[in-house]
A and B are shown apart, each in its own frame.
Chain A
């Protein structure tokens, strides 16, 4: 089970390499990017590096420095009103907008990081080209480089666009959000009329420690979030596998038909089905009316109005939503198990249940472990089901703006949208993340999926 004893060669720092081994051209490229490449006739590459350096310097001069300054101060000039004689009314004197200052500052940081990485690539390339020349080997031209990117370095090509997308739309906004947790951006500090400023770790102290209403709310909500995630994920997983197995049995005919029946429920947008179920589960809703008319119950069952019932109801409804997904994946996997494995086993004399235990299940579990973990994390952040079904309710006087079935993430939403307590919402978001991250890193590393990738291939 332990880690394979690979010796890791520490990458040599590019700067150290240039300083110690580089010739005059490599050392020059510390300052003028691309010059080593140009010298060795790698025209296109050299020009690209040079161009990037110039653009970066221009950017920094024009807006970068300002952005950094702004981010540190988060604005000094509040918005004001100046009486304009000509018009006879006040006119707005715009002040600093703390929110935008923070955002542009983050952007500038990213640009700087990107530049530093490009600069190091430039250094490495300078060293590489120098060595090639020293050994008298062929120095790759532009076309050769392109070819490598389609083969040995294919991973770079394929990853480029997706990574850019992730950086722009996930990472950057995320960094912004994390930084907000260290400010006092809330409903009394709303731009553009007001400035907000850095307050360090104060928010974390308030949420976790102070004993006030909000920390009284945080821990129980966290507890329910984890409970919910565990039950929802496990039950959906097992249910989905069972269902997939049921349909996949050799003797069951019209497999596509049965699958379609269940898959139809995915086709209906979840917000619709959740709203429908919410209506049906009201004290005067269809389910209670039906049960009453059949004489099974006298008084309406408080599906969503009693705290414990509501929790059970949500988990059950989530089965309806989630099992078809798991079934779909598992079906695909079941069909992907090579027949040859089963044949070999049969030749060795194994019967159905042994084959199931030793071939099917391990295979399925191996492939779906990442899915399971993803689902668990997804359920911790499962906004839709809770918000649309119970609204986080039933309300309670014990919590700060949260109901008994609120997850951390729906509570977050309420804080953000209704109370506009952005900085606290960010803080809670970070805490949620820390918990999820720790958990998944711990478990994922232990699973066979992580360690034994090679074995299955």
Chain B
């Protein structure tokens, strides 16, 4: 009798186990060894995240998760150099996506894909997608916006760039500055006017209409900025120094300079989205800043694909994005966090960035993008040197576009 009962109980337990999908716990190898890459300043935070991960996922309790130092900018080079010894999970910038995927080193996102797509900014999902398949887990966003000195501009004035430029701030103060010979910044004006680079989705290496009619209007506007004595051509080093000296009223840059500018401006620290711009034909347009996202990728040659995917998903989950925001002041891509104005209030720069990203243009990642920067830089430098004029604007833009689209062997 007892045996029969035991057998029945045993069968019942087995049935229960099979139907509840308890099998999932046995899916993962119990002794997985995963290597994760992160930048040097992320190492401590990564350790915390790893501990949290093991708590939240008991099946991972015996896994060995090692970290090593490779920043997201270097990830592509390191992975492509030797994928067999590269990390199983690594962080990379979305502008490296196409190359990594074409080289066949990324695992496509297979588990919980719909969930991930629903949880993150649509822009970020696009940035991680090629031909309908996702190859990265969106994590943080990276773009730029405007910082300004509150003692020099009011909140209203900074809504439109021409209003700002019209104000008289004295001889030794520059009304505005930006990196004029850097395509990462100047492209925003072209995008805002409706021009496209490499097609609507950034995958067509033969398309670029920066020299269209709207493009010419934008070019004229940029030329105006370059030749305006109240506008300076500043890169990071110069704008920081200028804020410190009090000789700058507003500039375009990203969150990496937030703390330094905060220190210089103190109470007068102001941030806002990039101002609108009035082109020559009267249209007022809002520049669409270029954005790239930090994605987590799984190495195609990993020995523990399921485990790596689980960890990569965890690393880019809402919980971890929140930790990242609090510890590293990163801008999250998770929709809940982006819309949580209360949370973001503690970091005005990140709050503004999250706003800005909603209207940004994703940076194309196809290999042709490598040829984009030089011609844009040359164009900007020619504007500053006054080699570009209103008369030869169309010609110069045509040459620029030819350079952007040029490939060896054609």
Contacts and interface: CB of A to CB of B under 8 A. Distances in A.
Contacts of B382: 397
B408 A206 contact: yes
Given A193-B102, A395-B377, A397-B403, 20 more contacts: A79-B104, A87-B27, A87-B306, A89-B309, A190-B99, A193-B103, A193-B104, A206-B408, A210-B409, A212-B410, A213-B402, A305-B381, A393-B377, A397-B378, A397-B399, A400-B371, A400-B406, A402-B374, A419-B367, A420-B367
Contacts of B105: 192-193
A305 B383 CA distance: 12
A368 interface: no
B111 A396 contact: no
Contacts of B99: 187, 190, 420
B108 interface: yes
Interface string B290-319: 000000000011000110010000000000
B257 interface: no
A90 B301 CA distance: 12
B90 interface: no
A276 interface: no
Interface in A188-213: 188, 190-194, 206, 210, 212-213
Contacts of B107: 89-90, 92
B345 interface: no
Contacts of B408: 186, 206, 212, 214, 400, 421, 424
B102 A419 contact: no
A306 B384 CA distance: 11
Contacts of B385: 302, 305-306
B371 A419 contact: yes
Nearest to B305: A89
A318 interface: no
B238 interface: yes
A394 interface: yes
Contacts of B396: 397
Contacts of A402: 374
Contacts of B399: 397-398
Interface in A70-114: 79, 87-92, 94
Interface in B193-229: none
Contacts of A212: 406, 408-410
A419 B403 contact: no
B287 interface: no
Q: What is the interface of chain A mostly: helix, strand, loop, or mixed?
A: loop
Interface of A: 79, 87-92, 94, 186-188, 190-194, 206, 210, 212-214, 284, 302, 305-306, 393-398, 400-403, 417-421, 424
Contacts of B64: none
A89 B238 CA distance: 50
Interface string B357-390: 0000000000100110011011101100100000
Contact of B305 (A87, A187, A213, A418): A87
Contacts of B238: 284
Q: What is the interface of chain B mostly: helix, strand, loop, or mixed?
A: helix
A397 B375 contact: yes
Contacts of B374: 395, 401-403
A395 B182 CA distance: 11
A210 B378 CA distance: 24
Closest 8 CB pairs of A and B: A193-B104, A395-B378, A190-B103, A187-B367, A89-B110, A395-B377, A419-B370, A193-B103
Nearest to B241: A284
B83 interface: yes
A191 B103 contact: yes
A115 B180 CA distance: 60
B93 interface: no
A289 B382 CA distance: 23
Contacts of A393: 377, 381
A174 to B, nearest CB: 19
A400 B377 CA distance: 13
B274 interface: no
A90 B377 contact: no
Contacts of B101: 193
